[in-house]
Structure 1
Amino acid sequence: MKNVLRSVLPGLLAVILLALPWAARADAFDDELLAIQTRWAEIQYQTAEKEKADAFEILRDRSQRFAAAHPERPEAKIWDGIVLSTWAGAKGGLGALSLVKQARQDFEQAIAVDERSLDGSALTSLGSLYYQVPGWPIGFGDDDKARELLTRALEINPDGIDSNYFYADFLLDQGDQDGARRYFTKALQAPPRPQRPLADQGRRQDIQNKLKELAS
């Protein structure tokens, strides 16, 4: 038995040692992704409006480097796109259009790799761009594409807070108040995301504000 162990242990240890760098890289990726998500929520929900554009611009430098370092990971592309699109929203004006075009490219690339990544977040985010960006000749807005993408996102993540929120907001934009109210209510019932409490808190406040708007 001892002889068997002596023959097996070196190979087992070699496998473990070879796996350690990969595990460390995976942990580093997850840590950086969470750091970007957390900083995004801090800017979106805890930063003064006049300071948001500058703060998102700084965060975009980080998310861009993160995506460039992991071109094979759709999660990194998704969050670079989210930072770009919210920076565009904070910046406003025609100058924001180039940012949302870059965000669209990020989301499309992530979908091409794995549309189910992060519970379909690329579909949700791209769909939200299509109904919020002006249509031709100014922008690329398209309500039909928005509906298609947001519906696909809901098929992947039917109980998610963001998938339901953005579909509800799209329906509100389309004048479907009953549908919007139904999906906003469902979004409020979404299970919490343990690592993203600030984002959940902020999104729930967004939903409450929309429901108040519908009730007025």
Structure 2
Amino acid sequence: MSARRIATAMGMVILGFFLLIIAFTTWYTVDESEQAVVITFGKADTTITDSGLHFKLPWPIQKAEVLSKETYSLRFGYKQDKSGDLVSYDKETKMITGDEYIVLTDLVVQWKITEPQKYLFNAQNPQEILRDATSASIRSVIGSSTIDAALTDGKAEIEAKTKDLLASLIKKYDIGIIVQSVKLQDVELPNAEVRAAFTAVTDARET
């Protein structure tokens, strides 16, 4: 085979490769539960919320980042392992009440992405920021609450205060998400002896 034919064949292979790139990177789909951001040369261009087939310029000129519209759950203080069992993290949940008792507090934060451009570009790790803000918020609220409120009838107020404080922090960070709800899962004393002593004191007070 002559050098000219080899060069022609190589040229056809390269051309075919670029045509494949163009064919597979000029379109994308968005489901009803999704939203997309078109990024042009690394800069967010437009946000697509309509579902269906959409077209854009080929890579590397443009690319589409598809994000979910669904509500996410941040589990603070515990997670579910592969077998479905719940694993708690006492170091993360251990905090001090206003009257200097130690309690273990875990909760769930419901949140969703409302501004995809900010979510993608205003922070390197928005979910880590949300976790840190959650920790700061619940510790602040527990630190100004009594042990009685944390363990008994003050949980609803603690949830409301934590949600308000967390929402204000997230708004300040401007990372494109909103906090929908905060739900305490468990607030308990750190060991059985302390729990028994507190229960005895509570029962005596009620009696």
Q: TM-score, normalization: structure 2?
A: 0.26
| More helix per residue | 1
Q: TM-score, normalization: structure 1?
A: 0.25
| More strand per residue | 2
Q: Which structure's CA Rg is the greater one? A: 2
Whose RCO is larger (CA < 8 A, sep 6+)? Answer: 2
